Amino acid sequence: EMQRTVLRTLSTLQRKLRMCSNQRASTIGDWTFRISLIIFAFLCGFAWYTRTINMWAMKNIGDTFLRKDINTRQIILGSFWRDEREQNVDGRFAVIHFLGDGRIEHPLYCFSIQANNRYLITRATVQRIHRGKRASSDICSWAGHIAECDLDVHAMKEFKISTTPNVEDAMLVTPEAPLREARHDMVVCMAPMYIYTDWEILVTGIELWLAMGATKVVVPVQSASSATYRILQEYERKGIVIIRHWPKWPIMSDTNPNGLVLSRGIEESHVNCLFFVKQWADIVVFSDIDDFLLPLDPSTVSPGDNLQILRNLFAEHPQAGSLLFEHRDVQFVPPNRQEDQSLANFNFEFLRNSKNKMNCNVWRMKTRVVVNASRVDSVNMHETGIHRFGYVQTRIPCRQAHFYHLRHSHNTVPSPTPINMSPLADMLNKQWQTRIESFTSLKSEVLNKTNTEYLEDFDRCMGAINDEHWTMKACFLQLMCTILVSRCLTPHVCFSRLRRDVDCVAVASEYEFYRSGKGYFMNPINIRVQKSEVNCESPVPPFTSGNHYFAP
C-alpha cells in the first residue's frame, strides 16, 4: 500500500514538472514573437517614414485610397426634330446629339410642357453611335451618342433636358429649325475640313459629285486656307454647298476630348450631317474630299451615273438601309503647281494622267458609306451604326461598284488595272466652263499654291507610330494598339511643319456649361470664322460662362 502511494506521488510530481517546463517554453516563444513583431513594426515604420518624407510621395499614397467620381459630361453637338415620316408611332420626338465618355452611362431626361401647363417627364433612349460596328469595344474612350426624347405633342419650339428627373436641374434646348429645301435625290456629306489647303482637289470633288447626280454638298469646316473657304462661300451663294461650322471641343479639368475620338470627330460630324439633311434628302453619301463613286469603267461615264447606280442597288436590295462600298486607290498625278493658279485658268486635264487603279482583289478594302436617310440614325467611319425598322447594311462587291481614292501620295498603285479618265476630264471641263462664268471676282484672283506637305508630315508621323508599336513587347494586341494610337491620337499628337506663308481661317467658339444634378451639359456659343492660329489650326475654345463654381 505504501509503495503504491509513493508511486502516485512521484507520478504527480513528474506531471507538474513537465507542465512548468512547457509553460516556460511557451512564455519564451511568446516573448520572442512579440519582440520580433516590435522590431518588424519599427523597421516598417522607419521605411514608411523615409519613403513618405515629402508631400508628393504622401499624395501618391493617398491617391491609392481615393476614388474619383466623375459623372456624365455631355458636349452638345446638335439637336434636331425627328421627321414625322420616320416615326412608326404617334407623338413628337427630338434627337439630342452629344459627345461623351463612352465608358460610362449618360442618363438624360426630357421635359416638355403639356396643355395643362405641367411638365411631361420622360427618360430619353440613349445610344452610342457605334452600335453595330464597335458596340462592344472602346477603341477611343470618347464617342458620339444620340438621345431620343419623347415629348408632348405641343412642344413646338423648345424643351428641357436634365441628367435627373428633377425639373430644377433642367437646361433649355432649342432644336435646329429644319432647312427649307426642296427634296434632294442625292446629298453628299463631306468629312470635316481641318488644316486644309488643297483647293484644287476640293473643286474636283464638288464638281465631280455634281456631275454624277448630287444636288447638294455639305462641308463641315474647322480650319482651311482662305482661298479654300472663299471657294466654298462661292458655291454656297449658288445654293450648291452648305458650310457647317465644326469648332474644336473644350478642354475639361482632366480630359481633352479632341484627342480621344476617332480622327478628329469624323464620325460625329457624319452623324450630325445625317440629322441635318434627313428632312430633305433621300440618299446621303458620306465621303472624304478625295473619294468619289464612279462607274467600274470610267471611260463610259455620263452625267448622273452615280444616282442611277445607287437607285439600282437600293432597288436590288430592298431591305438595305445602307450600302458599303470598297474603295480602290487610283494612280494620281496632281495638277501642275509650278505656275500661279486661278479659278479662271484651272481645268481637269490632270485627270488624264491617272492611268491605273487597284484591281478588285478578294481581300477587303476600307469602305465608304451610302445610306437611305430615313432608314439609318448613325454612320461610322467605314460602316453604318444604328439602323431603323429592321433595315440592314449591305456590302456591295467591288466587281459591282466601288469608290475611287485619288490621294496625294498615290503616285503608283499595287495590283494595277488600266483605266481611261479622259471622258471624265472632258465632262468636268465642259461643266466648269459654264460654272466659272457665274463666279465673282474671285475667279481671276491668284490663289495660294496648293501644298500637301502637311499631309505628308501626318503620313510620316503615323508610319513612325505604327513602326514603334509593331516592335513593342508590352502591347498584347499589337494591331489594336496601332489602330488605337493611329486613329484616335494621330491628329492630336502629330504636328505638321509650320506653314506661316499660307493665309488660313478657322472656326472659333466659346462654351457655356450647365450643372445638372452631378453631371454637366456644355454648349458652344458665339461661333465665328476668324484668322487661324499658327499652322492653320483652329483655337481651343474656352469656357466663358456657367451656372456652377466648378467647371466640368
| Cα(270)–Cα(496) distance, integer angstroms | 25
Cα–Cα–Cα angle for 241, 246, 250, rounded to 5 degrees: 175
| Cα(254)–Cα(225) distance, integer angstroms | 32
The model's pLDDT over 226-281, given as tens digits with 9 standing for 90+, comes to: 999 999 999 999 999 999 999 999 999 888 898 888 777 888 999 999 999 999 99
| Cα(443)–Cα(227) distance, integer angstroms | 11
What would the mean pLDDT of 162-173 be, rounded to a whole number?
95
pTM, whole model, 2 decimals?
Answer: 0.83
Which range among 44-53, 124-133, 194-203, 459-468 has the greatest average pLDDT?
Answer: 194-203
* Residue 245: its H or E element: strand 241-245
Residue 119 vs residues 109, 160, 162: alpha-carbon distances, Å: 12, 10, 13
Q: Of how many residues is the chain composed?
A: 552
| Cα(219)–Cα(399) distance, integer angstroms | 30
Q: What is the pLDDT of residue 381?
A: 78
* Domain spans, the chain: 33-67
Give me the residues paired with residue 92 across strands: 151
| Residue with more model confidence, 414 or 217 | 217
What would the mean pLDDT of 75-87 be, rounded to a whole number?
92
State whether residue 547 is helix, strand or coil. coil
Q: Outline where 333-415 has alpha helix (H).
A: none
| Cα(177)–Cα(276) distance, integer angstroms | 9
Nearest partner of 96 among 273, 272, 245, 260, judged by Cα: 272
Q: In what order do the strands lie in the sheet with 119-123?
A: 119-123, 109-113, 159-162, 171-173
Between strands 504-516 and 543-546, the pairing is: parallel
375 DSSP assignment: G
Q: What is the pLDDT of residue 476?
A: 44
The model's pLDDT over 445-497, given as tens digits with 9 standing for 90+, comes to: 888 766 656 566 666 776 666 666 555 444 444 444 444 444 565 555 565 55
Side chain identity at residue 100, one-letter code: G
User: Under a CB-based contact definition with an 8 Å cutoff, are residues 227 and 447 in contact?
Assistant: yes
